[in-house]
Amino acid sequence: MPFVILGVTGSIAAYKAVDVASHLVKRGVEVHAVLTSDAQRFITSLPFKTVSRNPVICDLYDEEEGWKPAHVRLADDADLLLIAPATANCIAKLAHGLSDDALSCIALALRPLARILIAPAMNGKMWHHPATQQNVRTLQSRGVEFMGPEEGLLACGYEGLGRLCGVEQIANRAFELVSQCPSHS
């Protein structure tokens, strides 16, 4: 069964990640959600737990059964790390190898054959900022794939580039990527 870690960061678009998880589960994908502390200001873990039928990681020190830390076990098992929505902060942390929460630790510990797909959502000025664009280029040079952001009315009241891509588009691309994954080594 394909295995996806769904990272959710602190964006108003966090509620859409539940629908992404639902689409993937309906296609036979095992989904494990990881919510940053900022994501939890927008949405709780309960909808992800209910939809995925798996525990949700909300803290680096969340423990499951067994001896291996949850973030290491997830990183070892994942075919894909999907971060939707991804904030500028998350993108910067990944680009610079910072690991101060469960999601960023998983990204650093991800098995070599796993793919990373990032769907950004943020204010358009933040997306266009040279630092964010450099961080995106850095991640792309490492093989990370980006979807979006899209143009439209943003939660901050501005119109422009920064909206999360469509839920079905994200789920479809994630499914394509896990369908191409070689079996675990």
Tokens of 87: 């904030």
DSSP string, 90-139: HHHHHHHT---SHHHHHHHH--TT-EEEEEE---HHHHHSHHHHHHHHHH
Q: Are the beta carbons of 92 and 126 closer than 8 angstroms?
A: no
CA gap 124, 162 in Å, rounded: 5
Options 58, 90, 105, 156, the catalytic residue:
156
Cα separation, 50 vs 53, in Å, equals 5
In the block, tokens 């990032």 appear at 118
Per DSSP bridges, beta strands 80-86 and 3-8 are parallel
Among the listed residues 103, 87, 90, 85, the one whose alpha carbon sits nearest the alpha carbon of residue 166: 85
Alpha-carbon distances of 159 from 99, 128, 146, 150, rounded to whole Å: 33, 13, 21, 11
156 carries an active-site annotation: yes
Residues annotated as catalytic are: 156
